[in-house]
Structure formats: C-alpha cells, structure tokens
Amino acid sequence: MASGGGNYRNVTHRNSLKGTTTTAAAVATDRPLSVNSNPSKPALKNKSLSTVGGASSGPRKSCPGSLGGGGTAKDDAGVPGRVRVAVRLRPRNAEESVADADFADCVELQPEFKRLKLRRNNWDTDTYEFDEVLTEFASQKRVYEVVAKPVVESVLDGYNGTVMAYGQTGTGKTYTIGRLGEEDTADRGIIVRAMEDILADVSLETDSVSVSFLQLYMESLHDLLDPTNDNISIVEDPKSGDVSLPGATLVEIRDQQSFLELLRLGEAHRYAANTRLNTESSRSHALLMVHVKRSVKGRDLDHSSQNGNTTNMAKTLRPTLIRKAKLVIVDLAGSERIDKSGSEAHTLEEAKSINLSLSALGKCINALAENSAHVPVRDSKLTRLLRDSFGGTARTSLVITIGPSPRHRGETASTIMFGQRAMKVENMLKLKEEFDYKSLSRKLDIQLDQLIMEHERKQKAFEDEIERLTMYAQNQISEAEQNYANAMEKERLKYQKEYMESIKKLEEKWMMNQQKQGERKDQMASTADEVAELKRLHNKEISLRKAAEEEVNNLKTLFAATYFAYRLLSHTAILPLSRHQQILRS
Ligand SMILES: Nc1ncnc2c1ncn2[C@@H]1O[C@H](COP(=O)(O)OP(=O)(O)OP(=O)(O)O)[C@@H](O)[C@H]1O
C-alpha cells in the first residue's frame, strides 16, 4: 500500500470548513484539461439536447430498451444515449465568504433555462447550457433525482450506467456522491440513495446485488474492501469491450444497513490529505461498482407459448432470461493547480498522478466529442476503467462541480469545458441480457433430485405395499393352513374316535368271537384230544401191533429157526404143532 503524503480517511478527520487560504495565481500547465480555445463561442448544444432529452431524463418508461419487446440479447445495435451533464455550484465556504466578500461569484446560474453564465470580466459573460443546472441551494435529493435516478432506473432495466462527479478539488464531488447522511438523512449522497432505490426495486429471491469498492491511487487499483489487495488488474473482453476486475472483492448486498457499513469500511481506507483547498481532499479516484443481476419476469420469452404450443416440460426447460447491469459511481479526485493546493513532496506526486489521469480522461472525451478515429483509452487506468461509460454501452450522467470564487475562475472554466465536451459524447446503450443456463442447470439438478426422491419415495411406498400385501397373504395362508390343520385334526380326531369306537366294537365283537371261538376251540381241543388220544391209542395199537407183528415175525423166525432146528434134531421126535403155538402165544 502506498503511503506518504496521502492518509486514510479514518486518519484524517473530515472537516466541512475550509481553513486554508489560497493564492490567486494560476499556472496553466497544471490544468488537467484543455479548455475551449474560444470561450466566447456559444457552447449551446441544442441539437444534442433535444435528441437525448427523452431518452435520458425520462423515467423508466422512457428508456428505449425497456419498451415493448425491444432490447433483447440479440439486439446488438443498441440505442443512442448521449452523456448527460449537470453542473452543481457549491455555496461559498467560510474562507470564501471572507476572502471574496467584495467580489461577485464567477458564475451566475439560470436553472430555469438550464444555463450557466461564466463571468469573463465585469462586462462579458460566456453562456453555457447544461442538461441540469443545480444552484448552491439544490438539495441532495434533487441532485440525486436529476443526476443519478434516471441512470439507476436504467440499470434496473438492464443497461450499464455510470454516474460520475468531476470538478476542481474542494468543489463538492465527495459531498455530492459519497455523503452517508448519518447525522441528517437529507445529506445522503448519490451512492446511498442509489442503493436505496436499487434495493427497493429488486426482489432478493430472484435478483442479486453485489458491490465492489475500489480506489485508483497513483495508477494502481486498490480494493477498498480489502486493503491488502492493492494491485488489482483490469481485464478487458476483446470482443465486447467489457471491463471486469476479477481480483476485486465482491460483496452481495441484501440490506441498506450492511451496505452503509461496507461504505464506512471502504471510506476509511480511502486516501485523503489535507490540502490548502480541501482539508480532506481525496487523493484517489473512488469507484463503486454495483452489479445488478435480475431475472426477467412477466414477459413471456418463448413465442411458441403464445400459440399455446408450449408444454409444461418445455416451460420448465426454458432458461430464465437474466439482465446483468453494472452501475459505476465515480468520485474522481479533484483536479488541482499544484501551486494553489500547496502540494509538496508525496502530495505533489499524488497531484501529478491525479492530473495525469484526469488529463487522459479529458483527451478521450475530446476525441469522442470530435468523433476522432483514435480514442486514447489505454493512456491511463482511469480511462480503461471508464471505457464503457464514455463512447461505450452505458447510460452516463456526469455532475460537474464548481465553486463560486472568482479566484478559481480558470479552474471553473476548465471544468465547464470538460462538461460541455462530455455532453457531445454519444453512447450506444445496450441491454445486457443473457440466458441463465447455469441456474437452469441448477434448477434441473434440483428437479432431478426431487424426481429421484419422489421416485424413491414411490418405490419405497410400492415396496412397503408389496411387503404389506405379502404379509397379508402370508397371514391369510397361515390362517388358512391353521384352519385347515385344525379342521384336519378335528376330522382326524373324529375319525380316530370313530375308528377307535369301531375298533372297540370290532374288538368287542372279536372278543365275543374269540369267546365263541374259544368255546369252539375247547370243544375242538377236547375232540382233538380225543382224536389225538384215539390216534395215540391207534398208533399205539399200530405200534403194538407192529411190535406184535414183529414179535410174531420174530417168533415166526425164531419158530421157524427152532422148528428147523427141532426138525433137524428130532428127526426122531417131532413136537406136536400145538406146542409150538403155545410157545408163540406166550
Ligand atoms: N453543495 C454543498 N453544500 C454545502 N457544503 C458543501 C457542498 N459541496 C461541498 N461542500 C463542502 O465543501 C467541502 C469540500 O467538499 P468535498 O470534499 O466534497 O470536495 P471534493 O470535490 O470532493 O474535493 P476533493 O477533490 O479534494 O476530494 C466539504 O466540507 C463539503 O462539506
């Protein structure tokens, strides 16, 4: 972070009174801008004024891009929009009230004719016409309404916009642009009022507002929201010419209170110094960039839907049209004559750097006003940052601030000429619309997740139902089985009982039969015994007979043998046969 003569605003306390005296001497070489070489030449721009009046001054309805279906992303041509310039006169300060007590103001304002007369001397004046002429009595509210409000409304409609304050040091640029109005809300400057209007108009559900706050100090771009970030690079899109600062802190704003806190933080980091012309002179150009992103509602974008062809699905898949607009509010550091401001050492370096960048801006505006083929945009970072504001696509409103002191007539003239040239610059306003494919993709992702969840929920419900039905069926089956088993058991018991009874009966019958049979058997047994006895007797008889027959046979054999022997022996004495028979019988 650069240091030296410059102080942070939280170090140098802001004092609304000018305590310094200035010298009347003017050194032309320190002038940041080349003034009209022929100041007597009428500087009225009636043609341009009438051309632009409607486009720039009107409320949002008059904004060309907001008309009907015009100004879509495809509308590359844009609509012309001249840079509007208002002049604001600061009241005499305490020092001037004393020092210039005997002198008339160097300017005379005719707000009703939107004219400013710059005194050349006691007899001659040069007359200039501006879009708005704001006297020293103009309220902050009125200044906002005529200078910034049309631009803010244009930004809300999707166009880039710039509000810038230019003027000699100590003439009220910061007062006009940056007053927070903490003690008295009537003092609120353009920045605070612009954000109030923006926040009141956007829907925080569908739109977004984010800000970066920067200072261009000694040709390096510092982040006022993060002082460690002191060399932010400027990136230019070669095709569209869009300027972006990817390194800058971007803070989303959701309410005015947090925005005011952010402004306080940024202001505290801004370089300021006590110079002869301003006790708290801004030593840097401050840029507040407000990015407004809005989704386009109400207008049906798909013409097919007008024919009734669009399905719900097609509607869902249609990306939202979004408008991205950037409002740049610039509080330039004051142009100053180094001899008058009393800049020394580091403050001198700062003053040179300020004047150099303001001079580069003046050159660009001259080139644009004269339709030069070459516009030296790249000569300074300030002009690079503001390339869309002058000769670009933004609606630009400039407030030039002047003081009343005749001692600073030269600087006042220079400022007036800067304003007059700026009024000649014609921008080509373009609506910044694009389809929000990112959020469509996010939306589809969410829808997909929801569908998956819904499917899973249905699947689960289906599975639960199946399980429930299965359980029910199983219960029914088991109940039927149980009933069947019970019935079977009952049947079985019945049959068993019947069977047992029939068995019993059979047994009884059998018993009876048995009994009967037993009786019969007994009978049969005795018969059989008898038979057996008889058989035994018979057999015995047979065996006795057999034995008898064998005996007989034996006897016969014996008899025969005996008889034979006898016969042999008794050749002589034969026994009578009867004897033999007796023997046999015995
Ligand atoms: N319209 C006004 N009514 C009352 N006081 C004003 C008005 N304009 C400026 N002042 C006072 O004049 C002083 C200088 O104003 P301011 O700091 O805004 O000037 P500046 O142009 O921003 O200066 P620098 O370029 O040095 O930063 C401040 O004290 C401020 O309160």
Q: How does pLDDT run across 518-548, given as a tens digit for each residue?
A: 777 777 777 777 777 777 777 777 777 677 6
User: What pLDDT score was predicted for residue 568?
Assistant: 62
Backbone angles phi, psi at 401, to 5 degrees: -110, 135
* Predicted local distance difference test score (pLDDT) of residue 336: 65
Residue 500's identity, in one-letter code, is M
Residue 6 Cα to chain centre, angstroms: 41
Structure confidence at residue 358 (pLDDT): 92
Two structure tokens written together for 221: 């771009």
Q: How far is the CA of 218 from the centre of ligand 1 (A)?
A: 22
Residue 45: what pLDDT?
30
Among 20, 175, 281, 357, the mutation site with the greatest number of ligand 1 atoms within 8 A of its Cβ is 175
The share of the chain scoring above pLDDT 90, in percent, equals 44
Closest-lying ligand 1 atom to the alpha carbon of residue 179: 18
User: Do the Cβ atoms of 292 and 198 come closer than 8 Å?
Assistant: yes
Q: For ligand 1, which residues put their CB under 6 angstroms from it? A: 16, 90-91, 93, 167, 169-175, 278, 280-282, 333-334, 401
Could you tell me which residues are beta bridge partners of residue 23? Answer: none
User: Residues comprising the binding site for ATP?
Assistant: 167-174
In the reported structure, the alpha carbon of residue 388 is separated from the centroid of ligand 1 by a whole-number distance in angstroms of: 27
Expressed in angstroms and rounded, the spacing between residue 10 Cα and the centre of ligand 1 is 17
Q: For residues 327 and 194, what is the distance between their CA atoms, to the nearest angstrom?
A: 9
Q: Which of 28, 12, 16, 106 is nearest to 340 (CA)?
A: 28
What is the number of the ligand 1 atom nearest to the C-alpha of 335? 25
Using DSSP's 3-state secondary structure scheme, residue 335 falls into strand
What single-letter DSSP state applies at residue 148?
A: I
Q: Is the pLDDT of residue 70 over 80?
A: no
Nearest atom (ligand 1) to Cα of 175? 18
**Rounded-to-integer distance, Cα 64 and Cα 377, Å:** 28
Torsion of CA 16, 22, 28, 32, to 10 degrees: -20
The residue with greater pLDDT, 269 or 282, is: 269
Instruction: Provide mean pLDDT across the span 407-415.
Output: 93
Measure 86 CA to ligand 1 centroid, in angstroms. 16
CA distance 440 to 363: 45
Residue 283 neighbours by CB distance under 10 Å: 31
Please write the tens of the pLDDT for every residue from 483-524. Answer: 888 888 888 788 888 878 877 887 788 778 778 777 777 777
Please tell me the predicted confidence (pLDDT) of residue 503: 77
What CATH number labels 41-299+318-431? 3.40.850.10
- Residues 514, 520, 526, 532, CA torsion sign: negative
Q: Which of 65-74, 102-111, 227-236, 358-367 is predicted with the least confidence, judged by mean pLDDT?
A: 65-74
Report the atom number in ligand 1 closest to the C-alpha of 275. Answer: 26
Cα–Cα distances in angstroms (integers) from residue 55 to residues 52, 83, 133, 343, 365, in the given order = 5, 11, 18, 42, 21
Q: Give the start-to-end residue ranges of the domains of the chain.
A: 41-299+318-431, 439-551
Q: What is the mean pLDDT of the chain?
A: 78
DSSP structure class, residue 241: -
pLDDT at 572: 52
Nearby residues of 170 by Cβ (< 8 Å), 6 or more positions away: 18, 90, 93, 275, 277, 278, 281, 334, 403
Q: 586 falls in which pLDDT band (50, 70, 90)?
A: low
| Distance (Å, whole) CA 307 – CA 317 | 18
Predicted pLDDT at 192: 98
Closest CA to 73 of 341, 319, 311: 319
**Rounded to the nearest 5 degrees, what angle is found at the Cα of 52, between the Cα atoms of 48 and 56?**
145
Task: Between 176 and 322, name the one with better pLDDT.
Answer: 176
CB crowding 435-470: b at 16 or more within 10 Å, else e: ebeeeeeeeeeeeeeeeeeeeeeeeeeeeeeeeeee
pLDDT score recorded for residue 510: 78
